[in-house]
Chain A
Amino acid sequence: MCGIAGIIYKDGEHPIGSEMTRMLQSMKHRGPDSTGYALYGQPSNLVIMRYKLADANTPRDFEYEDRLRRHRAEVERRLAALGAHVKELEEETEYAFRVTLEYSGDLKRLADFVEDVPDVEVLSLGHSLEIIKDLGDAETVAGGYHLSDFNGTHAIGHVRMATESDVDISGAHPYWAYPFSDVAVVHNGQLTNYFQWKRRLERSGHRFQSECDSEIIAVYLAEKMSEGSTLEEAMRQSLDDLDGVFTYICVTKDALGVAKDEMAAKPLVLYEADDLVAIASEEIAIRAILDHEIETYDPYEGEVLVWQR
């Protein structure tokens, strides 16, 4: 089933970490397996990279801790080798890290070089995007990653009921649009032409971190935008190019957009005010941050809506 949510403010920063947690926790019944966030903080000249050295359910064998230490040291060595100066390195969990870098080189090269270290996966890379995802419900993940203090302008989130791939962090949403900076997607539905698009995008030089069809959407949109399309144009084109049932939310450094397929088989409720747009699979998620009567509606099939922060 899965549940998705998005929020974008037009009047500056707000406590989007705690707000998205309340939205996602209220939809726990739609997916208790994993929870993920894409949060946009204050844009910076520095590069923010979130990466993990292992999965939450990686077997804790006798070598586990030693392997983490070696791989962590190797990541840091490779960052230095590329000329990326580490300004700050935070250990969020024993296997998940947030690093702030001074780096002006190619982000794809950076991501590829870091991910070449065994078991390492770059979860997000950009100047304001931070993707946090792990197993468990929203309160568990938010507590583990200290998200209650996160302020920013926009965010998306996802609660996952695993159906077509494993219960692990790689299968959790949101998906960063590797290797494009600051683009992420959450998706509710199934793409039936997943393998066609995966092969096409792989032939264009992209690689995928998961076996999940939703990752296709992120890379597809980012590639369109890198070719000159606006977010809205890319999303409208996706309605023709992607088969299946889907409602997805895409975020960039300054915008949030939503698209529904022609069948409108997956739900989405929209609330729009002068200073705020909030969307979710269920109104109860929006009411988790707006505890009063509000005017909401369901966007129709084939609709694409985009808001700027």
Chain B
Amino acid sequence: MAAVGESAINYDARGLAEPDAAVPKVSEIDGTSAEFDAHDLSTRQINLELRWLINEQGITDVTVRNPGAKHSLGVGILTRCKITFDGSLGYFGCGIIDGPEVHIKGRVGWSSCENMMSGVVVIDSNAGSLTGAAFRGGDLVVKGRVGARTGIDQKGGTIIVMGSAGSMNGFMMQRGRQIICGDVGHGLGDSRYDGTIYVGGKVRSLGIDCVPGEWTDADTEFIERKFRIYDLGAPPALQKFVCGKKLYNYDNLEPSERKLVL
């Protein structure tokens, strides 16, 4: 049975989906730019069209109209290019990308930009929970609010949220930076290893081993630079939170070296 707005899906003898793997080739191409309407396309067809344009047609600037909050759009794009989604995405949008500059003119659901390695994603509206989970590099800008557990297991890069955020932001964060301009919920930076979180609003509670950090000129320079790059206006007054480094072992030794020392 096909979902609303999806094409029919066949199932093999084991019940596994066998979706149509044909590239729709519905784009209007103009030089190195292309545009297509995703309203009547399935998630798989939209992603196939994107890859065909970027990897085989030499397109560097793609606009996707009517993405319709479908899940898993724009995932696995591993090259520099510009993608504009003229609307909202569902869950898992722009995951595991390495290089593209993405503009989402709407909202995203849970787990967007998961495992993002490099590039830029700008979201004009709100984002769901688990935004930027396991984020590795690049910049993610959310102009609205985000849900819980933003940047869980973050390993690098910068996540900027102009609105407020839910609980457990930066849970088990390892590296990178978060700038949350609004309020944050319970358990900020809980069980983190490292990284820096800046908060403009109220902090409902700090998580284990998340402590206030000392402000430096480098913090000011970094934040002003990021706000300037993304035209975000003047940054608000921010508090800085870092890892207290009491919870885990921070002797900087590799396991093999530790065996030798001990």
The listed residue (B90, B145, B166, B186) touching A284 by CB distance below 8 A is: B90
Q: Are B148 and A293 touching (Cβ within 8 A)?
A: no
A181 on the B face (CB < 8 A): no
Compute how far the CA of A137 lies from the CA of B4 in the bound complex, rounded to whole angstroms.
Answer: 12
Given A28-B3, A293-B88, A293-B106, does the pair A284, B148 have CB atoms closer than 8 Å? no
| B69 touches A (CB below 8 Å) | yes
Near B by CB (< 8 A), chain A positions 292-306 give: 293-298, 300-301
Collect the chain A residues with CB atoms within 8 Å of residue B126's CB: 295-298
Query: A287 to chain B: which residues have CB within 8 Å?
Result: 68-69
**A22-B167 contact given A262-B186, A282-B91, CB 8 Å threshold:** no
Q: Which chain A residues border B4 with CB–CB below 8 Å?
A: 22, 25-26, 284, 288
Q: Chain A interface mostly helix, strand, loop or mixed? A: loop
Which partner residue on chain B sits nearest A266 by CB separation? B129
CB distance from B194 to the nearest CB of A (A): 25
Q: Is the CB of B88 within 8 A of A283?
A: yes
Taking the nearest CB of chain A, how far is it from the CB of B61, in angstroms?
21
Task: Write the chain A residue with the least CB distance to B149.
Answer: A264
Tell me which residues across on chain A come within 8 A of B69, comparing CB atoms.
282-284, 286-287
Considering only residues 215-245 of chain B, those with a C-beta below 8 Å from chain A are: none
Query: Does residue A263 face the partner (Cβ distance < 8 Å to B)?
Result: yes
Across the interface, B128 reaches (CB within 8 A) one of A26, A29, A267, A295, namely A267
Determine whether the beta carbon of B144 is less than 8 Å from that of A264: no
B99 part of interface (Cβ distance < 8 Å): no
Given A297-B145, A298-B128, are A263 and B167 also a contact pair (CB < 8 Å)? yes
Contact B166 A301, beta carbon cutoff 8 Å: yes
Tell me if A239 is interfacial: C-beta within 8 Å of chain B.
no
- Is A269 on the interface with B (CB-CB < 8 A)? yes
B136 CB within 8 Å of chain A: no
Q: Is the CB of B125 closer than 8 A to any CB of chain A?
A: yes
Report the bound CA distance from A129 to B144 in whole Å. 37
* Given A269-B128, A287-B68; 14 other pairs, CB 8 A cutoff: A25-B4, A26-B4, A139-B1, A264-B148, A283-B69, A284-B71, A284-B90, A293-B87, A297-B145, A298-B129, A300-B147, A300-B166, A301-B148, A301-B186
